[in-house]
Amino acid sequence: MWILVYIVIQSGEVFSTTVDLPFADMNECFEARDILSYQVGKGNGYFFPGSQAVCVYNDDLEDV
């Protein structure tokens, strides 16, 4: 399963949040990442400096 994590750096501090979970495959997660880029970033998969979203695979979620 895949998790979408949004990361922001403010004043040297790193903050992260799980945006959505779980996704069955990487493509679903990347589609959600692209949508997030339009909501909180520059769109088209780009985010503002000091922020990023990543899709992370986690096999611990297979039973969720």
pLDDT tens, residue by residue, 24-33: 999 999 999 9
Give the phi and the psi of residue 6 in degrees, each rounded to 5: -105, 130
Dihedral, CA of residue 64, residue 57, residue 23 and residue 5, to nearest 10: 110
| 3-state class (DSSP) for residue 35 | helix
What's the sign of the alpha-carbon dihedral 21, 26, 31, 37? positive
Higher pLDDT, 64 or 20: 20
Largest distance between two CA atoms of the chain: 38
Contacts of 34 (CB under 8 A, 6+ apart): 44, 45
Tens of pLDDT, residue by residue over 18-56, are 997 789 999 999 999 999 999 999 999 999 999 999 999
The stretch 2-22 carries a mean pLDDT of 93
